[in-house]
Homo-oligomer: A and B are copies of this chain.
């Protein structure tokens, strides 16, 4: 089993799996469906992945990793102004959320299907990401841009942002960037 590489082939398989997991849900996606979508037979699948769960973990890791990378880059490019840091963070979040949409929907809906080991690993990744958010919100509160408890604000904001995967239409009139700006606009107080 060639389990631990990250060949382009594997990346492609993960992308296809993500799509199927969104369409059907993890439990209803059979290894036969996955194999067919990938153009191989179901037995061959287990050459690339130890078991079905590992495919799920790979999908979620891919998405979370991307989000983390993008957010860090965005924060590096942003200055030290709390408001603009809030803006770039919201934009980066919606950007990955809606371009890597499949992976993130899977992460949101199928998290509980992960086995303990994978969940543990991915929890660390996600925590690293949320720490970025907490810092940005801390700065915003300190600067008087937002009111409320740090932890609470972070959760409300992330909730509002993550909820977009349930209704956002990429062909609609609004870009992810506009969406992000409108949210920031909504919750900052311009005195």
Contact = CB atoms under 8 A, between A and B. Distances in A.
Contact of A159 (B153, B162, B191): B162
Given A152-B182, A156-B160, A189-B190, 14 more contacts: A27-B27, A147-B186, A149-B182, A153-B186, A155-B163, A156-B163, A157-B160, A159-B161, A159-B163, A160-B160, A160-B163, A162-B163, A186-B187, A189-B189
A69 to B, nearest CB: 24
Contacts of A124: none
Contacts of A187: 186-187
17 contacts: A25-B112, A27-B27, A147-B185, A147-B186, A148-B185, A152-B179, A153-B186, A155-B164, A156-B160, A156-B163, A157-B160, A158-B163, A159-B160, A159-B163, A159-B164, A159-B166, A160-B160
